[in-house]
Structure 1
């Protein structure tokens, strides 16, 4: 059996799709050929798992002819597919599945694409409005539609030998401790500037952690955040505050580095979902987005969000221009939230 999964385009969404992907593999067994189509920048995230046999990369905005729409349609037409499951909500992926000759197409009836799906699932609604539900449950709904019944919401990510080798090098290069607490921090958010916590707050928080506890702070980043985390680390100016700005930034390395950390402090961004999937406690700084969308009872997390009339707005930039939702999340509030995880690690190491 040949099954095509049009996987989520965002890092965090792909992590939250893991329970559904796992259920689909369990439903069809090891004999099925499951191909996952996703963005090139997500390469390596699910490496090491047995859920997906092959990854194909597709980006409608790319200049690389290997990953463009024409190449993807041509490649799809070389396989005799049984069905496609569309994790994405876009009209584009439904058109791609039709153009690729996939006879059975399952997805949510959104973005005007219902007529292109052979099995169009109703979108959860309250009255006429789309209801915000945990994305893990939203994706599991797709799995159930093809008979892959599962209530297992547990997130997980496999580690790879390559990632472990690279993480060894990162730990050595940055003189990070092999025993003792290390707090990962992530400053960015692909959604937009409204998700970002002020750099000065990160400076204050990192300085307080390393001067009042035994913990180190490791700033992780993608290519866009490199310069920001360099500036934050320079401003803190403490040997126990380091960044990955000059280290390998592939996802396999990031997985292994997060796995070695004690806990994470992050904006509502992809790396915080990775840390959660690796079993790490996460303190998440919410501003314009809805915590319910990422809620998962299997994850150890503290979600911090200030109460304002404008929260959440769901906008990539603050429409009122004051960004109070993130400005008023104080470093002290975050420090108090992460401190128990540091203390717990100390207790365990002594024990």
Structure 2
């Protein structure tokens, strides 16, 4: 094959979980050109990666050159030999077909089976219902169907020089190089408010990390979470807790600061997978979502989940008392974090880079 289009997932964390499969396709077809087709907001997840010749942005409501028919024409002009569809949408399969892709590999869901090429993969079901299984394994099945070897579970990301320069500026701004350890807190989640752990709990955890481990703490955020990050830093009442609330934000910056950190404590959101991709220890606080969907087999991860009668509900907003998240205490999260810090100190090479 000369040219392969990889239709990337639509969620930041899912793109990271697709990286073993992407890497395996690259290895299976070293002479082929790979093109990524993705939503604009996930493009920076794979920025700096050596796998793709180009990234084609697809946004049905975006600029004219990113809409369906423009992207279909672009794909047709590229003469794509095969398309691998990580998203399960009918639209993705239709776009691949109308884009002239010779072979279309994906899961047979949402009535799109007739648009796919053999073998048509079925998702795991039990009595006609989908059973929560690790997405990373499903993505790997797609790569194998296209002809790759077993991709394994090692996720991988890259940063750009611009990302690293921005992270260097943050390290200098807050004086983070003077701390023996730097812990990151990520309180947000694009999925919805049901995934949020209380801000006061994050603030209490930040105080514990400072007082008991001597760490500097940096609170991450997305554009919609600036006030939350600012409030966590202020509520911690510690001069050693900082936030990115007043900084220019980007996925590239988040990747670069995660890469040089000692630890990440996060909700079940995209940056959780950044930590695994950069081999950094991570504590993830789960609430309404199935852990089984996003299990990545990362050995430096601790996943905290409180079993409650109403969960996991998969709801974006809790209509009860949010007990699945409020019942997880700062003490429990600190114990998990301290255990990881003791077991997985930052390597010397990363220490030097971090202090730059």
TM-score bucket (shorter structure):
over 0.9
Deviation of the 1:347 alpha carbon:
10
Aligned match of 1:70: 69
Aligned equivalents of 2:113, 2:137: Cα separation in 1: 21
Aligned match of 1:332: 331
Aligned equivalents of 1:307, 1:97: Cα separation in 2: 42
Deviation of the 1:189 alpha carbon:
1.2
Unaligned runs of 5+ in 2: 349-356
Aligned equivalents of 2:213, 2:149: Cα separation in 1: 45
Aligned match of 1:7: 8
Aligned equivalents of 2:185, 2:71: Cα separation in 1: 36
Deviation of the 1:138 alpha carbon:
0.7
Report runs of 4+ in structure 1 exceeding 6 Å deviation.
Answer: 345-349
2:262–2:346 contact (8 Å) kept in structure 1? no
Quick one: structure 1 residues 152 and 345, their matched pair in 2 at CA, closer, same or farther if it must change by over 3 Å? closer
Deviation of the 1:227 alpha carbon:
1.6
- Shifted more, 128-137 versus 275-284: the winner is 128-137
Instruction: Please list, as runs of the form range in 1=range in 2, the aligned pairs for 1:45-194 lying within 5 A after superposition.
Output: 45-62=45-62, 64-119=63-118, 120-177=120-177, 179-194=179-194
Quick one: structure 1 residues 288 and 82, their matched pair in 2 at CA, closer, same or farther if it must change by over 3 Å? same
Deviation of the 1:43 alpha carbon:
2.6
Q: Deviations over 1:106-139 (max 9, x none)?
A: 1001112111112321111122111221111110
Quick one: structure 1 residues 215 and 142, their matched pair in 2 at CA, closer, same or farther if it must change by over 3 Å? same
1:181–1:345 contact (8 Å) kept in structure 2? no
TM-score by length of 1: 0.94
Aligned match of 1:323: 322
Aligned equivalents of 1:195, 1:211: Cα separation in 2: 27
User: What secondary structure does 1:4 align onto?
Assistant: strand
2:36–2:54 contact (8 Å) kept in structure 1? yes
Aligned equivalents of 1:114, 1:217: Cα separation in 2: 49
Aligned match of 1:258: 258
TM-score by length of 2: 0.92
Deviation of the 1:47 alpha carbon:
2.3
Aligned match of 2:351: none
User: What secondary structure does 1:3 align onto?
Assistant: strand
Aligned equivalents of 1:98, 1:346: Cα separation in 2: 49
Aligned match of 1:242: 242
Aligned match of 2:287: 287
1:286–1:303 contact (8 Å) kept in structure 2? yes
Quick one: structure 1 residues 151 and 35, their matched pair in 2 at CA, closer, same or farther if it must change by over 3 Å? closer
User: What secondary structure does 2:49 align onto?
Assistant: coil
Aligned equivalents of 1:106, 1:344: Cα separation in 2: 41
Aligned match of 1:312: 312
Q: Deviations over 1:6-27 (max 9, x none)?
A: 1001110000000000000011
Aligned equivalents of 1:307, 1:186: Cα separation in 2: 22
Aligned match of 2:20: 19
Aligned equivalents of 1:77, 1:297: Cα separation in 2: 38
User: What secondary structure does 1:36 align onto?
Assistant: strand
1:215–1:342 contact (8 Å) kept in structure 2? no
Aligned equivalents of 1:52, 1:249: Cα separation in 2: 25
Aligned equivalents of 2:110, 2:300: Cα separation in 1: 34
Aligned equivalents of 2:212, 2:268: Cα separation in 1: 26
